[in-house]
Amino acid sequence: MKVPWIFILRRTVFLFPVLLGVSFIAFVILNILPGDPALMLVGERASKVTLENMRKKMGLDKSLIQQYGIYLKKLLVLDLGNSLVSREPVLGALLKRLPATVLLASASIVVASLLGIFCGTLCAIYRGGYIDMFLTSLTLLGISMPVFWVGLMLILIFAVTWQIFPPSTEEVGLEYLILPVLTLSMRSASYIARITRTSVLDVLSLDHVRTARAKGLTPMTVTLKHVLFNAFIPIITVVGLDFASYLNGSVITETIFNWPGVGRYTMNAILQRDYPVVQGMVILGAFVFVSMNLLVDLSYGILDPKIRDDYLQGRF
Amino acid sequence: MDVVKRAVFFLIPFFLIILGCGVSSKSNKDKNIFVDYLSSNPGTLDPCFGVDVDEARIQAKIFNGLVRYDSDLRIIPDLAEGFSISEDGKTYTFKLRKNVKFHSGHTLSSADVIFTFKRLMSKQTASSRAWVLDQILGFDEFNSGKANEIVGLKAMDNLRIEITLKKPFSPFLGLLAMPACYILSKEKLYLSDDSKKLINGTGPFRVDVWNEDLSLDFATNKDYFAGKPEISGYRFRILSQTGVQESAFLTGGSDILELRDVNFNRFYNDAKYKKYIKTASALNVYYIGFNCQKKPYDDPRLRQAFNYAIDRKLLLKAYKNNQGILAHGSIPPGLPGYDESAQAYLYDPARAKKLLTQMGVSLPFKTSVWMKPNQENLDIVQAIQDQLKKVQIDLQIKKIDWAMLKEAINNGEPEMYFLAWFADYPDAENFLAPLFHSQNWGNGGNRARFKNNEIDALIEKSQKELQHSKRIAIYKEIDKKVYQLAPWVYLWHESKSVLLSPRVQGYVQTPIPHVLKGLKLKLAIK
């Protein structure tokens, strides 16, 4: 298969203005907020001289534009500054926590996709039947329940009452992963199921499916090969966007289950007014989202030959 | 239905695996390790940069100071075997214990003390706690980088240190007991060369493993000069949310739970838990401050009227489960200087109204109180708003972000504001000088912009007074006089309660967290 390099290159180039815009917005918003980061570091009882020295050291005595210039210069060498609380480099702190988030996000998206696609396909195949009605109601429930509530209920039932699972993470491991994955994947699975149902129903009515059935293929082969494959584009869009948002740290789920990922770290940074960390997370988040969108767009090319041709011939 | 059958066969083992993983869940109940928790990852273990209560709790396990507070808040020698104070109250001499070992195996000497104090005071360190030692002669020159040595800090020999102050300052020993003054090793600041997390100290526990965002594990220091701890380890889990903390406690994941307004009654009213609750004063004062420089708030009668118009007893019961004591001064119970017999403003709306009428303010009197958007405190202030309506005071509530609120109060903008003050060090001076001395307006702590020459003179007198009983008498006098002038609506001193696991023995709840070294903790193991 040919790789649409021009498409990839063009989209990668577009990444820079997006990141520049995001960095500017994040910088301005966090800098116009009240509160003096230098004062946070030296403490309220520090002398004026100490405070001024710290302000100079942090470059806070310069104009906002100059400060942004310095910030951008540092950003080019991947220096996101230091945390005000732990004083460690922000990029290192975020990267350290990223594996835990990637694990949770990947596990959740796998569970959500498997469950969602499976239930959605079942609903489409048995359209109007009891299975369809039952699963459609279940997905409606899944979409309607807020994530924090689902998390708390799972803790109450499985951790506190039955004591099957631990309520909060002590180390990154399977036993601690299950409840957060269930919490995070429930809503996603419901969305995916609904999208799959609609998308599969559209494909089921197409001529090629009838032909496949007429050829005497088993229902499983027809469903997997001729229906699902063709119904994947809307599904992959939802899966991609959900995965990107999980990778940015599922703030609520990670906090409720004490999961040591970037989401909980960002939450604590917000509460502790650790501005460089929040700023860094906004930029990392934008990067993850834009990259994920690119991957989703590329996957369209793999799934649909017409789109692939468009990419290869520069029609995008 | 072929597809459905296949799916069921696929899903059954999936759920069995999930259940299997869950049942193997670990429990701390069978280990001789005390499991405590922190609400966030400690920013640092370095005493120079510690700012919050949690960091102080941790540092108390790793380090020792020259002196420390015991559980009755008396100052006792710690790394110092003893100390003497010169007659003029300016020179302090400390003699160190012999053969005290750091966790790295190095022996403590006066060079470590000098290194620690110089590090804390230096311009390069830029510690937010440098002020703790600002009474030492030569601090200003050294801290501003103009001098390389501190005139008032000398090592007399390998085990003796002499500290000279700018002027007599009686709370100085209390300041030396603060975590910022914990002694570090000059030879080996960190236990490991590649990690700045494993810091070296002399305390009963040494840092073993720090899994950021998850837990901080301590092993016992077998060579601790005051004897080995009873438990074999101390673990701080990082549990950032009240619900997470509670569920961890209920499932045996921690041995202690700090009770809050929202869950206190639930545990207190349950016989299964009530006997395991420990409560102690928490050295704080909650208040609504006035800007005493703004008209008409510069008139004490108006401020007194507010004190009479608010039924604090009812509020404490309704919103704080009676977990505290009504304030009749700024000094909290538990500190020498607290006067149990002091006269308080009792709820008397008629008297409040009379004072307002005497002053000639036009009623209804419109005012506003600024506060953080914290729901617990908002409920209280809304109740106060209702109570004030009875004396025709129309109180507007202005909710504002903490950073903005602090800036506004320090600039003297709000006429009234809801705040609390917590002890930096357990000396009543810390509840008087920062809060009411006119030199400390704004950031310094005197946010009421209170100015009274007599009070200023009395505070300065108390700081110079070396005789304990005389100093306490002056503290009481200051507290009483300020209270009469009512720069605040004095609300209450909150106490703090913890719930312990039944296996915990020897835990003492203390007003300041860094008193607890964890030496006497025992765990009943099944």
Q: Determine the pLDDT at residue B477.
A: 95
The answer to whether the Cβ–Cβ distance between B25 and A155 falls below 8 Å is: no
Of the pLDDT bands very low, low, confident and very high (cuts 50, 70, 90), residue B351 is very high
The answer to whether the Cβ–Cβ distance between A86 and B44 falls below 8 Å is: yes
Chain A nearest C-alpha distance from B53 (Å): 14
Q: Determine the pLDDT at residue B25.
A: 45
Question: Mean pLDDT for chain B?
Answer: 89
The answer to whether the Cβ–Cβ distance between A54 and B443 falls below 8 Å is: no
Q: Determine the pLDDT at residue B222.
A: 92
Q: Determine the pLDDT at residue A230.
A: 85
* Residue B94 parent element (H or E): strand B91-96
> B450-485: buried (b, 16+ CB within 10 Å) or exposed (e) per residue?
bbbeebbebbeebbebeeeeebbebbbbbbeebbeb
Of the pLDDT bands very low, low, confident and very high (cuts 50, 70, 90), residue B380 is very high
Specify the range with the lowest mean pLDDT, choosing from B251-255, B387-391, B485-489, B507-511. Answer: B507-511
Q: What is the pTM of this model?
A: 0.83
Whole-number CA gyration radius for chain B = 26
The answer to whether the Cβ–Cβ distance between B2 and A258 falls below 8 Å is: no
Chain B nearest C-alpha distance from A179 (Å): 9
DSSP code of residue B50: -
Of the pLDDT bands very low, low, confident and very high (cuts 50, 70, 90), residue B80 is very high
Q: Determine the pLDDT at residue B418.
A: 96
Q: Determine the pLDDT at residue A312.
A: 77
The answer to whether the Cβ–Cβ distance between B22 and A160 falls below 8 Å is: no
Of the pLDDT bands very low, low, confident and very high (cuts 50, 70, 90), residue B288 is very high
* Residue A75 parent element (H or E): helix A64-76
The answer to whether the Cβ–Cβ distance between B401 and A34 falls below 8 Å is: yes
Find the residue in A nearest to B217 (Cα): A170
Of the pLDDT bands very low, low, confident and very high (cuts 50, 70, 90), residue B23 is very low
Chain A nearest C-alpha distance from B404 (Å): 5
Find the residue in A nearest to B407 (Cα): A35
CA distance A63 to B403: 21
Of the pLDDT bands very low, low, confident and very high (cuts 50, 70, 90), residue B221 is very high
Residue among B420, B395, B393 at smallest CA distance from B405: B420
CA distance A117 to B475: 73
Closest partner residue to A171 among B19, B214, B243, by Cβ? B214
CB atoms within 10 A of CB B99: 9
Residues of B with Cβ-Cβ distance to A60 under 8 angstroms: none
Closest partner residue to A44 among B130, B248, B443, by Cβ? B443
Q: Determine the pLDDT at residue B15.
A: 52
Residues of B with Cβ-Cβ distance to A124 under 8 angstroms: none
> Does the pLDDT at position B467 exceed 50?
yes
Find the residue in B nearest to A93 (Cα): B212
CA distance B428 to B446: 15
The answer to whether the Cβ–Cβ distance between B128 and A41 falls below 8 Å is: yes
Encoded amino acid at B166, one letter: K
The answer to whether the Cβ–Cβ distance between A131 and B239 falls below 8 Å is: no
Query: pLDDT by residue (tens digit) across B238-270?
Result: 998 888 999 999 999 999 999 988 889 899 999
Find the residue in A nearest to B4 (Cα): A122
> Does the pLDDT at position B503 exceed 50?
yes
Kindly state the tokens that stand for B395.
Answer: 């109180």
The answer to whether the Cβ–Cβ distance between B403 and A273 falls below 8 Å is: yes
Chain A nearest C-alpha distance from B213 (Å): 5
The answer to whether the Cβ–Cβ distance between B126 and A131 falls below 8 Å is: no
The answer to whether the Cβ–Cβ distance between B126 and A170 falls below 8 Å is: no
Q: Determine the pLDDT at residue B433.
A: 94
Residues of B with Cβ-Cβ distance to A249 under 8 angstroms: none
* Residue B160 parent element (H or E): strand B160-164
Residues of B with Cβ-Cβ distance to A266 under 8 angstroms: none
pLDDT (tens place) for every residue of chain A, 316 residues total: 677 788 888 888 888 888 899 989 888 887 877 677 777 777 766 777 777 877 888 888 888 889 899 989 998 898 988 888 788 899 999 999 999 999 999 999 999 999 999 999 999 989 999 999 999 999 999 999 999 999 999 999 999 999 889 998 888 888 899 999 999 999 999 999 999 999 999 998 888 888 988 888 888 888 888 888 888 888 999 999 999 988 887 889 999 999 999 999 998 888 877 888 999 999 999 989 888 888 888 888 888 888 888 877 777 6
The answer to whether the Cβ–Cβ distance between A178 and B215 falls below 8 Å is: no
Closest partner residue to B22 among A85, A172, A175, by Cβ? A175
CA distance A226 to A219: 10
Chain A nearest C-alpha distance from B382 (Å): 25
Query: pLDDT by residue (tens digit) across B170-219?
Result: 889 999 999 999 999 999 999 887 677 789 999 999 999 998 889 999 99
The answer to whether the Cβ–Cβ distance between A47 and B243 falls below 8 Å is: no
Closest partner residue to B240 among A85, A97, A258, by Cβ? A258
The answer to whether the Cβ–Cβ distance between A258 and B244 falls below 8 Å is: yes
CA distance B433 to B438: 9
What is the DSSP annotation of B338-380?
--TT-------HHHHHHHHHHHTPPSSEEEEEEE---HHHHHH
Q: Determine the pLDDT at residue A1.
A: 65
Residue among A104, A80, A91 at smallest CA distance from A247: A104
Section B125-153 average pLDDT: 91
Q: H helices of A126-206, where?
A: 130-144, 147-154, 174-204
CA distance B243 to B498: 15
The answer to whether the Cβ–Cβ distance between B247 and A155 falls below 8 Å is: yes
Find the residue in B nearest to A157 (Cα): B247
Kindly state the tokens that stand for B92.
Answer: 């302090």
The answer to whether the Cβ–Cβ distance between B4 and A258 falls below 8 Å is: no
- For residue A234, give the 3-state DSSP assignment: helix
Chain B nearest C-alpha distance from A237 (Å): 25
* Residue B408 parent element (H or E): helix B402-410
Disruptive mutation site among A122, A127, A168, A220 for chain B (greatest number of B CBs within 10 Å): A168
Give percent above pLDDT 70 in chain B: 94
CA distance A152 to A20: 38
DSSP code of residue B209: E
B155 close to B161: Cβ distance less than 8 angstroms? yes
Chain B nearest C-alpha distance from A114 (Å): 11
CB pairs under 8 A between A and B: 145
Query: pLDDT by residue (tens digit) across B223-238?
Result: 999 999 999 999 999 9
Q: Determine the pLDDT at residue B14.
A: 54
Specify the range with the lowest mean pLDDT, choosing from B78-87, B248-257, B436-445, B499-508. Answer: B436-445
> Does the pLDDT at position B373 exceed 80?
yes
CA distance B220 to B206: 6
- For residue A19, give the 3-state DSSP assignment: helix
CA distance B141 to B150: 8
Of the pLDDT bands very low, low, confident and very high (cuts 50, 70, 90), residue B12 is low
Find the residue in B nearest to A171 (Cα): B214
